[in-house]
Amino acid sequence: MASVTQAQLLWTQPEQGPREWALYRLDDNNNRFLMSYFSDRYRAEVLAQHYESLGHKQTYYVERAL
């Protein structure tokens, strides 16, 4: 599985504060998997878009963590 390197990110910062956003993967059998938590929505959306661009059957989406 391909991964995002730190060099591919626009910027990084140490995780601070609550992890308010969650990145999920939805596979072609409609199974939902939590991939990671993020403190800001932007970083979660960037990673979701990266995974979507890989062209697999899975769908990636971000929503507020519970």
What pTM was estimated for this model as a whole?
A: 0.71
Compute and round to an integer the Cα radius of gyration of the chain: 12
Tell me: pLDDT of 54 over 70: yes
Report the 10 Å Cβ neighbour count for 10.
7
Domain range summary for the chain, segments of one domain joined by +: 18-60
Q: Say which residue, 6 or 50, is predicted with more confidence.
A: 50
List the end-to-end C-alpha distance of the chain, in Å, as a whole number: 28
Distance CA(1)–CA(39), nearest Å, equals: 24
